Copies of this chain bind each other. A is one copy, B any other.
Amino acid sequence: MVPHLITALTGPINELEQRVLDSMPAIERWFRLEWMEHTPPFYSSVDIRNAGFKLAPVDTNLYPGGWNNLTPEMLPLAVQAAMAAIEKICPEAKNLLVIPENNARNTFYLSNVAQLQRIFQAAGLNVRVGSIDPAIKKPTKVELPTGETVTVEPVVRSKRRLGLKNFDPCTILLNNDLSLGAPGILEDLHEQYLLPPLHAGWSVRRKSRHFQSYEEVAKRLGKLLGIDPWLINPMFNKCGEVDFSQEQGLDCLRTNVDALLAKIRKKYKEYGINEKPFVIVKADNGTYGMGIMTVRDTKDLDQLSERTKAKMGASKDGRQVHDLIIQEGVLTAERINEAVAEPVVYMMDRYVVGGFYRVHAERGDDENLNIPGASYVPLAFAESTRLPQPGQKPGASAPNRFYMYGVIGRLAMLAASYELEATDPEAEVYE
Copies of chain A in the complex = 2
Given known contacts A3-B76, A32-B92, A151-B391, what 5 new A-B pairs fall within 8 Å (CB)? A1-B80, A27-B124, A29-B124, A76-B381, A122-B387
User: Chain B's nearest CB lies how many Å from the CB of A389?
Assistant: 5
Residues of the B chain whose Cβ atoms lie less than 8 Å from the Cβ of A391? 114, 117, 141, 148-151
- Cβ of A301 under 8 Å from chain B: no
Residues of the B chain whose Cβ atoms lie less than 8 Å from the Cβ of A126? 25
Q: How far is the CA of A29 from the CA of B4 in the complex (A)?
A: 31
Contact with B along A121-132 (1 / 0, CB 8 A): 111111100000
- Interface residues, chain A, CB within 8 Å of chain B? 1, 3-4, 24-29, 32-33, 35-36, 71-73, 75-77, 79-84, 86-87, 91-94, 114, 117-118, 121-127, 141, 148-151, 350-351, 381, 383-384, 387-392
Known contacts A80-B81, A124-B1, A124-B24; decide if A73 and B72 are in contact (CB<8 Å). no
B75 touches A390 (CB 8 A): no
Q: How far is the CA of A277 from the CA of B389 in the complex (A)?
A: 47
Residues of the B chain whose Cβ atoms lie less than 8 Å from the Cβ of A91? 29, 32-33, 35-36
Residues of the B chain whose Cβ atoms lie less than 8 Å from the Cβ of A124? 1, 24-25, 27-29, 32
User: Chain B's nearest CB lies how many Å from the CB of A408?
Assistant: 16
Known contacts A1-B82, A26-B94, A351-B80; decide if A390 and B125 are in contact (CB<8 Å). no
- Between A76, A114, A391, the greatest number of chain B beta carbons within 10 A of the residue's beta carbon is seen for A76
Known contacts A32-B92, A125-B28, A148-B389; decide if A84 and B84 are in contact (CB<8 Å). yes
Question: Which are the 10 A-B pairs with shortest beta-carbon distances?
Answer: A28-B124, A72-B384, A32-B91, A149-B391, A117-B390, A1-B83, A148-B389, A3-B76, A1-B79, A1-B123
